[in-house]
Amino acid sequence: MIKIKWLSHACWLIDFGDLRIIIDPFLTGNPKAPVRADEIKDVKYVLVTHNHFDHINDAFKIARNNNAKVIGIYELTMYPDRDGFPDENIIGMNKGSLSDLGDISIGMVNAVHSGNESGFIIRKNGVTIYHAGDTAFFGDMRYIREFYHPDIAMLPIGGFYTMGPMEAARAAELIGAKITFPMHYGTF
């Protein structure tokens, strides 16, 4: 059984039972965060969709506290605020297909934003999750459905920096996930 908890903004804690991940941890300085970064325990991977503060803010702190690996776009490996974080605990990827990490498969897909942006495809225990990251609507979202068949999608709806509710509703149709969660709204 999978447990998914929204920690506000674009941050999600996903528990597959035998493995936990966190995506886009922005807890410190987030007025809506229900937990503190130091309360996040037992995560193996910290996924970061792009290098804006409201997505990467607590990534290295949580990874350090959990001896977890940070996964993000290749340029993340050169992120200046990583404070001596060990190279062996960073997995720099790029957009392409799923990569088998042994206990989970993770891939990066396109997003339309700024800050070395991407979305994530996560597959474990027969469940496929699509976290869109910060993105505008783009028609090639239909290929997310065609290639990966996500069961769960997480789409931004805040507008201004991302697509709004109207565009997200159309994106949800193209993606075709059984469950779609809204994110990246109401934080500020």
Q: How confident is the model at residue 32 (pLDDT cuts 50, 70, 90)?
A: very high
> What is the predicted pLDDT for the residue at 97?
85
Tens of pLDDT, residues 127-159: 999 999 999 999 999 999 999 999 999 999 999
Percent of the chain at pLDDT > 70 equals 97
Tens of pLDDT, residues 65-118: 999 999 999 887 776 566 778 888 999 999 998 999 999 999 999 999 988 899
Domain extent listing, the chain: 3-183
> What is the predicted pLDDT for the residue at 80?
59
CATH classification for the domain delimited by 3-183, as one of 3.30.1380.10, 3.60.15.10, 3.40.50.1700, 3.40.50.1000: 3.60.15.10
Q: Output the CA–CA distances (angstroms, integers) from residue 164 to 115, 122, 169, 181, 182, in the order listed.
A: 19, 24, 9, 13, 10
Q: Output the CA–CA distances (angstroms, integers) from residue 55 to 60, 151, 180, in the order listed.
A: 11, 23, 20
